[in-house]
Amino acid sequence: MGIIDKRKKAIAMGEDTNDDLLGILLKSNTKEIEEDGVGMSMEDVIEECKLFYIAGSETTSNLIVWTMVCLSLDQEWQTKAREEIMQVFGNQEIHFEGLKHLNIVTMILNEVLRLYPPGTMVTRATHKETQLGDMMIPSGVHITIPIMHVHHDPELWGEDATLFKPERFLEGIMGATKGKGSGCFLPFSGGPRVCIGQNFAMIEAKTAIAKILQRFSFEFSPSYKHSPFPSFTLPPQYGVHLILRANGLSP
């Protein structure tokens, strides 16, 4: 509430606050209240801020962390990703156009999203009687889709479903699911309610991984303990302890 109050005062003073999501939200809300007399309450704004953080920040940071875990586990793929990044960017700053050419990094991120999805499950509700395959589902039923289980199902992904194998995405998502469709791969949910931030999250993750691999190689610390903790998101319960080396020097 303190952050929001401070920002509202800045808007009232005429300061430009359009440089982040909260500033844009408050300015839009102020305009709506002035024009229509109705807008979001303080509680609504607080809930939106929670959504920015949980759905926007925590999920992406988890993706970056689990990617570093997988690349610590498989040094060969870490080397492949670094070589691609150096080929595209060298030691220059990361730029948007170059991100489009990071095919190996994209394969790695998709495999990490499969193994460690940002959301472990998603819930949907029927607002009318709905035919789903051979089932007729009444109106008002809540359906939980266990994304984690779908992503680890050997019938969908093969007997190596629990292994980190980015090459399964060599021919994209449709190739990885072996003709079973994109419904098998749900890191950002799917359909008309698909996560609105998925493209932005992928850009953030590619940028972060590219910057890290440009500068460092990394491996597990002896104190690392594998601890995926499935809740609403999938953080590592005990953190991720890694050893980073800059340009082949000592840790």
Which backbone phi and psi does 232 adopt, to 5 degrees?
Answer: -70, -40
Enumerate the known binding-site residues.
Answer: 195
- C-alpha span between 223 and 162 (Å, rounded): 23
pLDDT for res 9: 84
- C-alpha span between 102 and 104 (Å, rounded): 6
pLDDT tops 70 at residue 248:
no
pLDDT for res 17: 63
pLDDT tops 90 at residue 196:
no
pLDDT tops 60 at residue 99:
yes
Name the band, by pLDDT with cuts 50, 70 and 90, for residue 95: very high
pLDDT for res 87: 96
Enumerate the known binding-site residues for heme.
Answer: 195
pLDDT for res 157: 93
Strands 242-246 and 135-137: what pairing?
unpaired
Structural domains in the chain, sorted by start? 40-118+156-246 (1.10.630.10)
Q: What percent of the chain has pLDDT over 70?
A: 96
Supply the DSSP symbol for 20: S
Cβ-based burial of 68 (10 A; exposed 0-12, middle 13-18, buried ≥19): buried
- Give the dihedral sign, CA 110/114/115/117: positive
The per-residue pLDDT for range 148-179, each reduced to its tens digit, is 999 999 999 999 999 999 999 999 888 898 87
- C-alpha span between 205 and 108 (Å, rounded): 11
Q: What is the b/e burial string over 116-150, where b = at least 16 CB atoms within 10 angstroms of the residue's CB?
A: bbbbbebeeeeeeeeeeeeeeeeeeeeeeeebbeb
